[in-house]
Structure 1
Amino acid sequence: MTESQHEVQYLTIHGHRRAFVRVGQGPAVLLLHGLGCDHTTWSPIIDTLAKRYTVIAPDLLGHGSSDKPRADYSVGGYANGMRDLLTVLGIDKVTVVGHSFGGGVAMQFAYQFPERTERMMLVASGGLGPEVSPFIRAITTPGYHQVMGVLTAPGVRHLGIAGMRALSGTGWKSTRDLAEVADIFDTFKDPDARHAIRHVVRAVVDWKGQIVTMADRAYLTDAMPMSVVWGRDDKVIPVRHASNAAALAPMARIEVIPNAGHFPHKDHPQRFAKILHEFIRSTQPATYSRAKWRNLLRNGQVGPVSPVASVTSITSA
């Protein structure tokens, strides 16, 4: 991945070393990266956010500079890991922001630990529909580890990375995200990273697509401010999943950014930081109430949901 622009710190929790960046002061914002990425995916916005917030950007277990053990790589396991990291850091409550797979972790964190979640922002998130790119589905197939071992051999890997980066510079919408995909592909040269990614994907995806969804628990977002941000040209997880979010959580803010792909925080970092700041500035932190949570769980989702939330297009600066 890209070399970190910020000091990387380390903590050992449950015997596993975890890497993270902590910068800034103010209300805490937890940034959770996507599959095969690390904290550097947030580098374009960290300094801007750090002017107002305490920014915590970890490398999830199995990614980046964190350990890659034989361990629990479920979304629930990741949510537990984030709770433990925050506890050791002395941070009680956060606005949690999750990109792609990290969005699934953010949703699970908010579900498991509502008393520690002030708001939730999902960025091109998993868990909002079954569709996902064929490349991610391929990770679940037999022989993935062996095939990827061949594809990431030095000569083949360098050629593939150069090709993807060249295509990403063409300006075509369909190849916009290939520079980031090349960075992810480069991490697969590490056998431990390949094993970890396979375990992660198998927990949430099968050959038909995503199997973990927020659909059956989306009604719980009534107790918590929620924002969903997507790039209109996303080829990894379809932008129509933003409309799914509008249907599942009618109180959520749904914003689609034109001229952006699967990484809108990298395509338009200042615009993205502004959207996040406005979301935090204009909403009150969720206040956990056991009685309200109990009532929501008892009542559940009554009847079908309908897409009543508006989808806002943001013109890039």
Structure 2
Amino acid sequence: MTLAEVGGADRTRRATAAGPTVVLLHGYLGGSAQWSELEEALSARFRMVTPDLPGFGRAREAAAPASIERFAEHVIADLTARGIDSFALVGHSMGGMIAQEVARAIPDRVERLVLYGTGALGCMPDRFEPIEASLDRLGREGVARTARRIVATWLAHGEADPAFETLCAIGAQADAEAARLGLNAMALWDGRAALSELTMPSLIIWGERDRSYRWAQIEQLWRALPGASLAVIPGASHAAHVEKPLLFRLILEDFLNGDG
């Protein structure tokens, strides 16, 4: 099963079979469909929960929150409604910011924390372009063109990557207002002061060619999180889970199975 084959499926309430629960939170202009191959690979041993954040993916009709904290409240309420009391939490990019807020709010329920291609400062000072520039271009170009331009920066080989068109299609599903609010929410968020509170076992995953989150943000997470390990994926950029899917899965699965 490929990303393209599942791109049209309604996955907003998708959870797979029994086992420890793993919650995957996508990032800006992402959606649950981006996790399809990883979900399929892990679903025999883990209960995989892959929500679409409000305003994005198949949840584009839902009103998007205006802050990272409100996104986290939505995720917590959704997991509570599903009866999920404890889980490992994986957050990618903006989803990693949301994951930090979830872990801060309900640390007793987050057994393990994976922060992937993300940081503790939402304005991303070394991003491929300032968030203000992305907001301006979003207003002038619309969601679909913005998705194509930004997705190209997520992949080490840009538009030549086989996953490019599928990731663009997922990004283009976002509601225009949600896309605007998401950028604003990131620009205003700063989670640095709370890092020392996140004492659960944690793993930071980073593609060495990531143009959204540079090494300075990754190093800050690694040094500030009390229980953090670091995995750097060579030759990958911001979407390492589709660029190097086997290596990404093995790293994640090793952490989920670990004792530390």
What's the TM-score bracket when you normalise by the shorter of the two chains? Answer: 0.7 to 0.9
Structure with the greater alpha carbon radius of gyration: 1
CA distance in 2, matches of 1:185, 1:48: 23
Q: CA RMSD in A?
A: 3.1
Q: Distance in 2 between matches of 1:90 and 1:235?
A: 37
CA distance in structure 1 between the partners assigned to 2:26 and 2:77 by the alignment: 17
- Measure how far apart 1:82 and its partner are: 1.3
2:30 is the counterpart of 1:4: no
What is aligned with 2:234?
258
Q: After the TM superposition, which residues 139-154 of structure 1 pair with which residues of structure 2 at under 5 Å, given as runs?
A: 139-141=134-136, 144-145=138-139, 147-149=140-142, 152=144
Matched residue count: 254
Offset of residue 240 of structure 1: 3.8
**1:106 aligned residue:** 99
Work out whether residues 123 and 228 of structure 1, in 8 Å CA contact, stay in contact via their aligned partners in 2: yes
Tell me how far apart the structure 2 counterparts of residues 27 and 73 of structure 1 sit (CA, whole Å): 31
1:53 counterpart = 2:46: yes
Residue 213 in structure 1 maps to residue 190 in structure 2: yes
Question: What does the per-residue CA deviation read over 1:86-145, in whole Å, with 9 as the maximum and x for residues that have no partner?
Answer: 12211111100000100001000000111211110001014255332317442333x742
How far off is 1:173 after superposition? 3.8
Deviation at 1:203, TM superposition (A): 1.6
Q: Corresponding residue for 2:218?
A: 242
Show CA shifts across 1:164-210 (max 9, x none): 99x89xxx9463797766556556766x71111101111221xxxxx
State the Cα deviation string for residues 36-94 of structure 1 (Å, max 9, x = none). Answer: 11011112211111121000001100001114344423211111111121122111111
Q: 1:196 aligns with which of 153, 178, 186?
A: 178
Q: Which amino acid aligns with 2:185?
A: A
Taking the aligned partners of 2:55 and 2:43, their CA distance within structure 1 comes to 26
Q: Does 1:175 align with 2:168?
A: no
1:275 shift after superposition: 1.2
**Contact 1:124–1:239 (Cα < 8 Å) also in 2:** no
Structure 2 vs 1, CA of residues 212 and 116 (structure 1 numbering), >3 Å: closer, same or farther?
same
The structural deviation recorded for 1:212 is: 2.1
Alignment of 1:114-193 (within 5 A): 114-128=107-121, 130-134=125-129, 136-141=131-136, 144-145=138-139, 147-149=140-142, 152=144, 173=156, 175=158, 186=169, 193=175
Return the structure number with greater helix share: 2
Gaps spanning 5+ residues in structure 2: where?
Answer: none
Structure 1 gaps of 5+ residues are: 10-18, 206-210, 285-317
Alignment-derived partner of residue 249 in structure 2? 273
Please, what TM-score do these two structures have when normalized by structure 1? 0.70
Change (3 A) 1:257 1:212: same
Report the 3-state secondary structure (helix = DSSP H, G, I; strand = E; otherwise coil) of the residue aligned with 2:115.
strand
Question: Under a length normalisation based on structure 2, what TM-score does the superposition of the two structures give?
Answer: 0.84
Distance in 2 of aligned mates of 1:107 and 1:135: 22
Map of 1:208 onto structure 2: none
Contact 1:23 1:55 in 2 (8 A): yes
The amino acid across from 2:214 in the alignment is P
Work out whether residues 104 and 125 of structure 1, in 8 Å CA contact, stay in contact via their aligned partners in 2. yes
Return closer, same or farther for 1:22/1:7 CA change in 2, 3 Å cut-off. farther
What secondary structure is seen at the aligned counterpart in 2 of 1:96?
strand
Q: Deviations over 1:227-246 (max 9, x none)?
A: 00000111222244221222
Matched AA of 1:93? S
Q: Which residue of 2 aligns with 1:15?
A: none
1:104–1:127 CA contact under 8 A, matched in 2: yes
Query: Aligned with 1:204: secondary structure?
Result: helix
CA contact (8 A) 1:98 1:105 kept: yes
1:60-99 alignment, distance < 5 Å: 60-99=53-92
